[in-house]
Structure 1
Amino acid sequence: MDQIEFFARVGLAIAIGAAVGVERHWRERDEPPGARAAGIRTFTMIGMLGGVAGLIERSLAPASAYPGIVTVGFLIAVTVVLTLFELHQAIAEESFSATSVITALLTFGLGVLAVTHDMVLASAAGATLVSILAGREFLHGAIRRMQWVELRSAVILLAMTFVLLPIIPADPLGPFGGISPRSLVLLVITLASISFAGYIAVRLLGTSRGDVVAGGIGGLVSSTGTTITFARRSREGANETSLAAGAIGAGAVSLLRVAFLIGMLAASLLPTLLLPLCVGALVMLGYAAFLAFGKQAGVGESFPGNPFELPAIAKMAVLLAAVAFFARAATLYFGDRGLLAASALSALADVDAATVTVAGMLPGLDANLAVRAIGIGVLVNMVVKAVYSVIFGTRSFAIHLWSATLLSVGAGLAADWLQG
């Protein structure tokens, strides 16, 4: 370790301790001197102590028969001292909490980590620790407001993501490329996550704003899935106008996402497609804002009773997977001009598939054909989402989605005509 790295690593250990100490000291800033067990100075020194322990470990590492013994010794000393002080304070105030002791141990450990291993990891963990400490009121308030159905849904979602998904086979099954069981489960998780994000957004922000925020988040993942999810909710008695605003917002985000993908994967096509995509997205965003913040959006406020219904989510996932499967099968029967048909058919489930496929064929593909293929994929996806709104949603929901789609398509085509 050279001298510059030496100062950088120890400095990071001290900075982590100081950041934690500021939060701890600020929370008890009104206490008289001697009334708090640990403040900014104490936690800064704990971080520095961890850095020193890490330095000693590194210097002894080549010849030490017991690696880690110095760190363990310092850790035991910090734990004993902080525990005694916290116990004395807790008995005096009749208020018991292990937060300060655990925080001190983490601060010491991150100081050691900053010196002995990855500085980026130590820095990120330190920022996370301070965020958790500073968010005490928010976290406690959220727990008090949480209902059993929300906790159950969160547990199910976590179990599907971290327990079920890793053990599901990833290899496709069936002809025409088949269907991957893991992809199907991942689609279920994606749709359930969209529903859960929408539920939380509505609980925190109210119906009109919450649905728009949830729609924007869903549009980053799957605007098609978001549209179907919101359409289904509209038939369950939720606010049709705000749900339509959220679905339209998801469509706008989807157009911007396509523009971003083109810029990253096929920059040569961006001058032709950027203006139509952005104009179409702006029209949809304007329509969504009109619905969300207009006078009619405040009528009939209602909150969903369940973050997501897993059987309904699974049915939607199977439907989208089946559409994608039949799209791949159908493309095998088209000739040399099958790219346009493939883009249109794949867009029945997801617009990103057409964009990524066409981008991967450049520069060997004619630029005009590539632009037409992506454009057809975008148009088909926009129209099919409007069709899904009729199938799964209420009449009012479908009317708003069709109106926004037609206005957006018209504006995009007009922008394309004007520029070329």
Structure 2
Amino acid sequence: MDTIEAFQRLGVALAVGLLIGIERGWQERTVRAGGRTAGIRTFALIGLLGGLTGYLQPYFGTAFAIAVLLLFGAIFTLFKRREAEEEEDYSVTGVVAAILVFVLGTAAVVADPGVAAAAGVVTAGFLAARDRLHGFLRRLTWVELRSALVLLAMTVVALPLLPDRAIDPWGGLNPRSLWLMTVMIAAISYAGYIAVRVAGPDRGILFAGAAGGLASSTALTVAFANFARSAPESGRQLAAGAIIAGTLSLARVLVLSFLLAPSLSLRLAASLVPALLAMLAVVVWTIWRGTERQKAPELNMNNPFELRVVLQFGALLGAITWISKVLADYAGPALLYVVAAISGTMDIDAITLSTARLASGTLSLDTAATAILIAVVVNLLTKVGLAASGAGASAFTARLAGATLLCIGCGLAGYVLLMPLVPAPAPA
């Protein structure tokens, strides 16, 4: 490498040490001068030492770099031991951080400086989050830990073992795809629970609702309905989260249709944009009312991961997917609306993608738009039904049903009044 590149790489090594040194120094800012093994200056020098070791490695060989690392590690550990005996603090984090700074400094010179810089930022973040992580572990229960382990087993162990092909003569049942959806449902339920625990009821619920809308608003609604059953006093906040998920699911329909058939997305926008605005208005009103009238209650959820409910949901999804596939293949375009309605009971992405592809070919834009909107309406109503089955006649179900009816009404008005005004695409 030339001189300029060498200085740049050494600068990255120094910057990594400086960043972690700032974090370490801030954590120990109340310690008397000279009472700590390493602070901002020492960590910056450690990063530079690692960078110079990497720079000299081509001249002295790999054994030289290993020897320097071992010598540095031994000296630092000796001083850290004396500090630990004096303060009765036996944490090994400082030693690991110092060795990591040295290694990252070396990597910035001999490998990719961008990766070394990113690893340095992640390291500083983990070190700075000490109190929050320890607090989270103190609040972690066995049920929560078990749920995380079961979710990981479903994802890492079971999913790769399933065949990624149809196993029925009609090509409607793909075990891996169905299990992937089941895992996603479980992940959304658990993520919503963790978000509430970490961020608090208001922010956690709204954040989980947004995440659910990007993945599966139906699964999010089922999870929040179960939460509302155990904490009915939080129905207002949970309903706002479910409405946000539904809003983002409508936005996802617009994005998918625009990517595959821009002309179709214009027709859908005439109906979906008013529906989106209506649901957003309900969310804003709900949040405002909650802020003005009462403090958000705490959520007391006993089990964040109901495996039986998740498996039942996956089985129902598999049945609907198989029926939709068979009808689409053997009934022909005359029953497209029926297929759309059936598909909408569980998912609107599949019918959106397939119909958008047809709209770019032989299917008329008006027919394609109507089919997708039917799926959207059925999906919205299905989520209300699922909410009622999970939460019963509660505030959660009432608010979700009201927002859904307002959304459908505004969308219908846009379909009747605005869609005829959308110009037809110019002939190719």
- TM-score when scaled to structure 2? 0.87
The equivalences for 1:15-414 within 5 A come to 15-57=15-57, 59=58, 68-238=62-232, 239-274=234-269, 276-295=271-290, 302-337=299-334, 339-361=336-358, 363-365=360-362, 366-396=364-394, 397-414=396-413
Secondary structure of 1:294's partner?
Answer: helix
Residues 134 and 326 (structure 1 numbering): CA distance in 2 closer, same or farther, change over 3 Å? Answer: same
Q: Quote how far apart the aligned CAs of 1:383 are.
A: 2.5
Look up the equivalent residue of 1:256 and give its one-letter code. Answer: A
Residues in 2 aligned to 1:7 and 1:361: alpha-carbon distance in whole angstroms: 57
Q: CA, structure 1 residues 34+297, in 2 after alignment: closer, same or farther (shift >3 Å)?
A: closer
Using the alignment, how far apart are the partners of 1:364 and 1:75 within structure 2? 64
Q: Is contact 1:170-1:180 (8 Å) kept?
A: yes
Q: Answer yes or no: is the 8 Å Cα contact 2:320–2:346 preserved in 1.
A: yes
TM-superposition CA deviations, 1:6-42 (whole Å, max 9, x none): 3333322221111111111122223333212111121
Partner SS for 2:330: coil
User: C-alpha displacement at 1:206, in angstroms?
Assistant: 4.4
**Superposition CA RMSD, Å:** 2.7
Cα drift, residue 101 of structure 1: 0.7
Q: Residues 178, 413 of structure 1: CA spacing in aligned structure 2 closer, same or farther, 3 A cutoff? A: closer
Q: Which deviates the most, 234-243 or 117-126?
A: 234-243
Q: Distance in 1 between matches of 2:8 and 2:356?
A: 43
Query: How many Å apart are 1:163 and its aligned residue?
Result: 2.9
Q: Which amino acid aligns with 1:149?
A: V
Return the alpha-carbon distance in structure 1 between the equivalents of residues 340 and 15 of structure 2: 52
Higher mean displacement: 141-150 or 410-419: 410-419
Q: Which amino acid aligns with 2:402?
A: S
1-structure distance, mates of 2:329, 2:302: 44
Contact 2:217 2:242 in 1 (8 A): yes
Distance 1:316 1:82, change over 3 A: same
Which deviates more from structure 2 when the two are superposed, residues 131-140 or residues 326-335?
Answer: 326-335
> For residues 277 and 4 of structure 1, do their structure 2 counterparts lie closer, same or farther at Cα, with a shift above 3 Å needed?
farther
Distance 2:235 2:75 in 1: 59
Rounded to whole Å, the distance in 1 between the matches of 2:295 and 2:323 is 41
1:165 and 1:185 in contact (8 A); partners too: yes
8 Å Cα contact 1:331-1:341 kept in structure 2: no
Distance in 2, matches of 1:359 and 1:182, equals: 25
Query: By how many angstroms is 1:294 displaced?
Result: 2.6
Give me the whole-angstrom Cα distance separating, in 2, the residues matched to 1:269 and 1:328: 23
Question: How much has 1:307 moved relative to structure 2?
Answer: 1.2
Conserved 8 A contact 2:348-2:376: yes
% of aligned pairs identical? 41
AA in 2 matched with 1:387: G
For 2:235 and 2:361, the matched residues in 1 are separated by 46
Question: What stretches of structure 1 of length at least 5 have no aligned partner?
Answer: none
27-36 or 249-258: bigger deviation? 27-36
Q: How many residues align?
A: 414
- Asked if the contact 1:218/1:250 (under 8 Å) is kept, the reply is yes
Task: Label 1:99 to 1:403 Cα distance change in 2 as closer, same or farther (>3 A).
Answer: same
Read off the aligned partner of 1:147 and give its amino acid letter: T
Q: For 1:40-75, what per-residue CA distance to the aligned partner results, in whole angstroms no more than 9, with x for missing partners?
A: 121112222222233334x359xx6xxx43332222
- In 2, are the aligned partners of 1:14 and 1:47 still within 8 Å (CA)? yes
Q: Which moved more, 1:129-138 or 1:75-84?
A: 75-84
* One-letter code aligned to 2:247: A
Q: State the alpha-carbon separation in 2 of the partners of residues 216 and 412 from structure 1.
A: 21
Indicate the larger mover: 186-195 or 360-369: 360-369
Q: CA deviation at 1:387?
A: 2.9
Distance 1:94 1:311, change over 3 A: same
User: Which segments of 5 or more consecutive residues in structure 2 lack a partner in the other structure?
Assistant: 422-428
Letter in 1 for 2:329: L
> 2:341·2:375 contact (CA, 8 Å) conserved in 1?
yes
Please say if residues 234 and 394 of structure 1, whose CA atoms lie closer than 8 Å, have aligned partners that are also in contact: no
Q: Residues 56 and 92 of structure 1: is their aligned pair in 2 closer, same or farther, counting only changes over 3 Å?
A: same
Shift of 1:160: 2.4
Structure 1 residues 131, 268: closer, same or farther in 2, change over 3 A? farther
Matching residue's letter, 2:138: R
Amino acid across the alignment from 1:184:
L
In structure 2, relative to structure 1, the CA distance for the partners of 1:369 and 1:112 (3 Å cut) is farther
**In 1, Cα distance between equivalents of 2:317 and 2:227:** 18
Are 1:202 and 1:211, in contact at CA under 8 Å, matched by a contact in 2? yes
Cα distance in structure 2, aligned partners of 1:353 and 1:297: 41
Answer yes or no: is the 8 Å Cα contact 1:242–1:297 preserved in 2. no
